[in-house]
Chain A
Amino acid sequence: MIYVVIAFLWAAILLYILLGGADFGAGIIELFTSSKNKQYTRTTMYQAIGPVWEANHMWLIIAIVVLFVGFPEIYTTVSTHLHIPLVIMLFGIIARGTAFTFRNYDAVVDNMQKVYNKIFVYSSFVTPFFLGVIAASAVSGKIDTSAADFGAAYIFSWLNWFSVTVGFFTVAICGYLAAIFIIGETKDDASRIRFIRKAKQMNVAAGILGALVFWVAHSEGIPLNEWLFDSAIGVIALVAALLSLALLWYLLLKKGKVYIIRVLAGFQVTMILLAITLRHYPNIVILKGGKYLSLMEHAGQEKTIYSLGMALLLGSVFILPALFYLIYSFQKNKGQWH
């Protein structure tokens, strides 16, 4: 049953990156859109993510519940030493979720809209940035559980170049996913071309930041190269990601089927996550001094894991069909090159 639980944890993280990420990306795209096109971008995005955005963010809740029920030591170590970035991320989540809803449900449309928009776009940037920082810090080996002074224990565990670079990389990935997604939601040629350009820009940005991540990792002594290229599966995953990226660019230029482009973008992100997580499996958090927190060794007692697994299986029987039908219903007549 432990494998069921781990699979759900991994899937929840992946789906949060893909769906929640595209959702954050919507705000990031808005941030980087010239003011004359902002309103159009906003409306298109809203129509696309309005019905599903609440559901997209549920994956984070699932992941966090799996962690605190099944792997309490991992959850508490991370939340103690990454307290500060977690709190900032939470403020981002609060600001973003409420601003998005408020701007659509304010009965009077006036200058308040500008306030909501500002809050929405900036929190759309800040939240995934800190998600990236947290994820990077968890594997960077910089969390020092025996540190005595405040800075070492609670600040420099996450405030370092590696974590910050990964934060920016995450933002770029979110923007990329959103741009790819939104191409299929546009109604006219001009805006489609604009979003294709956006997707390319975001992709290039992600590429550059990705390279930067390697360089920073190298200079900070984090063996990222080894992690990714040491195992055959890691290499295969990355090669597959690159090949699919090439295919995606080809299809973007050739106006290929929008669904295939979306699947390819999702596939790349999946492969990146797979390559990163697989090398360390079952270790999920790497602490200072080469210590690990492992999904196998730090799992809860057998009965806990069993009932957690059953709850997740039972839950997915209800959630997956309903979610699928929700997405299907609101996508039925879209997703074509019009």
Chain B
Amino acid sequence: MDDFIAARSQMALSLGFHIVFSCIGMVMPFFMAVAHFYWLRTNDVVYRNITKAWSKGVAIFFATGAVSGTVLSFELGLLWPEFMKHAGPIFGMPFSLEGTAFFIEAIALGFFLYGWGRFNKWFHWFTGVVVGVSGLVSGILVVAANAWMNSPAGFDYVNGQYLNIDPIQAMFNDAWFSQALHMCIAAFVATGFAVAGIHALMILKKKNVRFHMQSFRIAAVFACVAALLQPLSGDISAKDVAKRQPAKLAAMEAHFHTEAAAPLIVGGIPDSKAKEVKYALKLPGMLSFMVHSDFQTPVTGLDKIPEQDQPPVAITHFAFQIMVGLGVLMLLISLCYFVAIWKKKSWLQHKWLLRLFVLATPMGFIAVEAGWTVTEVGRQPWIINGIMRTADAVTPMPGIVYSFYIFTAVYISLSLIVTFLLYRQIKMVDKLYDVSPTA
């Protein structure tokens, strides 16, 4: 492995690790706030227990997300100094604001976790909401910075110089809205399905059924509403990418040849040398329709992109298929759940619906990882789209390979410990909270 690939792998690993924790950190507080609200309103002690149990999970995930985020803010300079030297002053605005949002989140979390019985109960509830809102704002801001790399704005690039910098314009680049929307909804889908799935498993095991049933309902409603909205935001994103980054869209779709009535390629194995996709299902005209709302308009293929500017097709295409495939599955589960709530109450008594949710536990997060793979790998070979190549941004320091190995070991051990802690939290539910025996 050479140092350049090692640097990219280390960055991918760090981001891939961080994104799980930040999603949970920004979404769980909303679940908590709902449970907390029910507790304050109904005095049903189960809701208080749910709030407390979830808040312990949030504390674990927030701390891990905070340290891995700190690491990232350094890694940008450790691995990509040439990029940060030029990009820092341009796309730094969302980061400076994010510092504030993150700070507020940490303060509010201090109030919330340690505030039981110390403050007015509604003030205490409110601090929990602040944790969620500031987490969400942090997420939007960081995604806006990433969007700038896809859609650079707010400067003039003249003879290798970055002139007339306008950080506000850079923050509100063309991609920020579609990317931030897609990510926020994705965070709700992923966290919602993960939480609902774990509680569904516990219900199936007949452990503290009431506790887990009430938790399940809160998480499932968030997850399913978000899963229904996600295709709409995906459509906005796809149209946006087609306009701004035709190379990325072509790689996502493994669309080698520019053609009218472009087919939508589902699955298959792209062969970059032969410029074709084997074993794929092709839906004629559908890609043209999805991108241009018209079955005939041509869609730019990879043949229009110079070879040295093309992203890796296979990885981008596979990742995109995984993301969309899992999104569709979760959409179907959500539809079942809503039918169950509104039309077929009897479904809720059946095990198969809960089993579906158990099956879907990791789906959202796999989709999130796949989605980030699409956006990051699909932007290659650029670190700033069309301006700076990733290979030109990497640190001159040799030996990054070893750094990558150590980071990998650290992140694997951390994942194991967090999983272990979570397992213990769930196992101890009945001992920690005197769940009523009527359950």
A-side residues, CB < 8 A to B, are: 50-52, 54-55, 57-58, 60-62, 64-66, 68-70, 72-73, 75-80, 83, 86-87, 90-91, 93-94, 97-98, 100-102, 104-108, 150, 153-154, 300-301, 303-304, 307-308, 311-312, 314-315, 318-319, 322-323, 326, 329-330
Contact = CB atoms under 8 A, between A and B. Distances in A.
Q: How large is the interface on B (under 10, 10 to 19, 20 to 34, 35 or more residues)?
A: 35 or more
A77 B88 CA distance: 13
A312 B96 CA distance: 7
A114 B380 CA distance: 45
Interface of B: 56, 59-60, 62-64, 66-71, 73-78, 81-82, 84-90, 92-93, 95-100, 102-104, 106-111, 113-115, 118-119, 165-168, 395-399, 403, 406, 410, 414, 417, 421, 424-425, 427-428, 432
B107 A55 contact: yes
B77 to A, nearest CB: 3
Q: Which 5 A-B pairs have the closest CB atoms?
A: A69-B92, A315-B100, A79-B77, A300-B89, A101-B63
A319 B102 CA distance: 10
Contacts of A70: 89, 92
B110 A69 contact: no
Given A76-B82, A107-B425, A108-B428, A58 B73 contact: no
A57 B63 CA distance: 11
Contacts of B398: 150
28 contacts: A50-B113, A61-B69, A62-B103, A64-B74, A66-B96, A68-B76, A72-B85, A72-B86, A76-B82, A76-B85, A79-B81, A90-B71, A93-B71, A94-B71, A94-B410, A98-B64, A104-B59, A105-B56, A108-B428, A303-B166, A308-B92, A308-B96, A308-B167, A318-B104, A319-B100, A319-B104, A322-B108, A329-B119
A61 B138 CA distance: 13
A153 B395 CA distance: 13
A42 to B, nearest CB: 17
B113 A65 contact: no
B410 to A, nearest CB: 6
Contacts of B432: 107
Nearest to B154: A303
Given A57-B70, A304-B90, A311-B100, A87 B403 contact: yes
Contact of B107 (A72, A75, A83, A326): A326
B66 A97 contact: yes
A105 B421 contact: yes
A318 B102 CA distance: 11
A301 B69 CA distance: 27
Contacts of A323: 103, 107
Given A69-B89, A76-B81, A150-B398, A64 B424 contact: no
Contacts of A77: 81
A106 B102 contact: no
A101 B73 contact: no
Nearest to A101: B63
Contact of B67 (A98, A104, A105): A98
B114 A300 contact: no
B410 A91 contact: yes
Contacts of A312: 96
B97 A315 contact: yes
Given A93-B71, A97-B66, A330 B106 contact: no
